[in-house]
Structure 1
Amino acid sequence: MNFKHTLIASSLALTVLAGCSSAPDEVVVAEQSAVESQYLEAKNLLIEGNYVRAAEILSALDASFPFGPYSHQIQLDLIYSYYKTDNTSQALASIDRFLKLNPTHTDIDYVYYMRGLTNLKAAKNALQEMVGIERFDRDITEHREAFSDFNKIVIDYPESQYAKDARQRMIYTKNFIAKSELAVAEYYMRRSAYVAAANRAKYVLENLGDTDQVENALEMMLVSYDQLELTDLYDNTYQVLKLNYPDNPLVN
């Protein structure tokens, strides 16, 4: 993946401030020279993939020079460093701070994109990753946040270089949310809580109807209404299932 703000080393020009006294000027120049030197070191570390050390340097620079001429780029690179080192809590905190302080920054689409990626990474369970499976019966707050972040790019920054990938990630995220809702519905069905199960499945049908979970949702609604002896709702659901999925096993 191409992250223009982190993988392209730039040549930084020193800004020499004019003044009446040469001593303060020399201090400013020396300070800026030190910042430039450390920042370029961090950029090289990012290119080399040494994200931990890069994050250490960038974090120190951000703390010492939060309003300097390189502050925005330092903060953007720090966000990426935190993301690459799986430090999602720090990444999200840095992202939210940047959005609050720089709502009109020219790279704000990139920041929202990184927020979406970071929320998705935060949602991953380490144990599930190790065994190579996905679970849908857990909290999906981060998935909802990620969907909102990617949607923000698509709606507000449609010409962004990140818009295309954001759309694809929205599809994945929305489908995951739908699966999670139906996992809860399944849980209710196993406990004969058919009203709750039907409501969860209906939510998927009404709010996540453009995912690949519609057929499963209709099946759960049909079984639940049958168990509840809600004839009208059963008949209506049956007709919808038959019309859209004529080969479904529940359709005679």
Structure 2
Amino acid sequence: MTNIDATLPSAAAKLGRKGTIAIRVVLLCSLVALAGCLGKEDDSDQPDIPAGELYNQGLKLMSEGKLRAAATRFGEVDKQQPYTEWARKALIMQAFTYYRQGKYDDTIEAAKRYVALYPASPDAAYAQYMIGQSYFKQIPDVTRDQESTQRAIAAMQEVVDRYPNSEYVDDAQKAIIVARDQLAGKEMQIGRYYLERREYPAAINRFKSVVIQYGNTRQVEEALYRLTSAYYAMGIVGEAQTAAAVLGHNFPDSPWYKDAYSLLQTGGVSPSENRSSWISKAFQTVTGLGKT
């Protein structure tokens, strides 16, 4: 699996940095009668305490690192005064405290509710970004089902499409690139499995998917080499030559190209691009990197 935290700013660090700024502003604006507000930490059912006071309690608990209790306080605000300004502020803070605890499913649920109820709020982009990061943090190893990866891409694309002027767009786009590389890696893993079993048509379909759907990921170099290998093994030498030629034209220094070239040389042939081949056409169309 791609090392996501090494490729992007850590999701926790990212949210922590921006969330801390937001929290400091809220704290500065909300230091209202905090003294004496707190009861027992786990006393979550407080119907007689005003919503604003519960919200302030949540802020104070959060500042003390008592995130579970803080999330409970914010939830009580929504129960008492749903669809009010207090409830709006409490809901985004509840999502944030869930994220800080690593409760990603709870984060997603709270943040989705926030976006649905307050799509025009200044914090809606942040809520959508938290949804994406929560899926992103649950991306599994490439050998496992990639449903979370697909959801992370969809959620981050929502940030880009719905909130194009937000400060989270750049990170969302980077996350999409990493997640797409993960999906391409999954296709490669399956394709290599078929290739090892000499199930060449099935392998070619997987490598073809990488070239067509994920041509701008780092997996495409190996995919072109594997296409060279699979076609050559099947005796479809022209397609093998084309795959190697496209690889060489666009990634001349790639070790995968050197391997592809050496493989063809064993049969006395060299890379040669057939411009009518699907490989040549697809690579030019999808990636924009093909030879013109």
Taking structure 2 as the reference length, the TM-score comes to: 0.69
Q: Residues 38-77 of structure 1: matches in 2 within 5 Å? A: 38-77=54-93
Q: Please, which of 157, 169, 175 is the counterpart of residue 151 of structure 1?
A: 157
Partner SS state of residue 79, structure 2: helix
Conserved 8 A contact 1:116-1:149: yes
Flag the 1:250–1:51 CA change in 2: closer, same or farther, 3 A.
same
Q: Which residue of 1 aligns with 2:198?
A: 192
Q: Deviations over 1:72-121 (max 9, x none)?
A: 11111111111122222222222222233333333221121111111112
**What amino acid is aligned across from residue 216 of structure 2 in structure 1?**
D
Identify the residue that residue 137 of structure 2 maps to in structure 1. 121
What CA deviation, in whole Å up to 9, does each residue of 1:207-230 have, x standing for no partner?
Answer: 211111111111121112122222
SS in 1 for 2:129: helix
2:226 alignment partner, one of 220, 227, 231 = 220
Aligned match for 1:97, one of 110, 113, 116: 113
Asked whether the 8 Å contact 2:112–2:127 carries over to 1, the reply is: no
Contact 1:215 1:245 in 2 (8 A): yes
Would you say the 8 A contact 1:7–1:46 is kept in 2?
Answer: no
* Aligned equivalent of 1:211: 217
* CA distance in 1 between partners of 2:207 and 2:137 (Å): 27
User: What residue identity is the alignment partner of 1:79?
Assistant: A
| Secondary structure at 2:29 match in 1 | coil
2:178 is aligned, of 156, 172, 195, to 172
User: Aligned Cα RMSD in Å?
Assistant: 2.4
Q: Cα–Cα, structure 1 residues 47 and 197, in superposed 2: closer, same or farther, change >3 Å?
A: farther
Who is 1:242 aligned against? 248
1:188: how far off? 2.0
Q: Secondary structure at the match of 2:244?
A: helix
Structure 2 unaligned runs (5+)?
1-16, 33-46, 263-292
Q: TM-score, normalised by structure 1?
A: 0.79
2:239 paired residue number: 233
What's the counterpart of residue 202 of structure 1? 208
Change (3 A) 1:155 1:68: closer
Give the structure 2 partner of residue 27 of structure 1. none
What letter is aligned with 2:242? N
CA contact (8 A) 1:12 1:36 kept: no
Q: Which runs of 5+ in 1 are unaligned?
A: 15-30, 125-134
Match of 2:85, SS state, is coil
1:11 corresponds, among 19, 29, 47, to 29
Q: Which residue of 1 aligns with 2:37?
A: none
Q: Distance in 2 between matches of 1:212 and 1:195?
A: 23
Contact residue 136 and residue 179 of structure 1 kept, 8 A:
yes
Tell me the number of residue pairs that the alignment of Structure 1 and Structure 2 aligns. Answer: 226
- Taking the aligned partners of 1:219 and 1:229, their CA distance within structure 2 comes to 15
- Offset at 1:12? 4.6
C-alpha distance in 1 between matches for 2:175 and 2:195:
30
Select between 158-167 and 31-40 the one with higher mean Cα deviation.
31-40
Shift of 1:10: 4.7
Q: Secondary structure at the match of 1:105?
A: coil
Q: In structure 2, do the counterparts of structure 1 residues 33 and 68 end up closer, same or farther at CA, with 3 Å as the change threshold?
A: farther
* Amino acid corresponding to residue 180 of structure 1 in structure 2: K
Are 2:150 and 1:140 equivalent residues in the alignment? no
**1:5 to partner: Cα distance:** 4.3
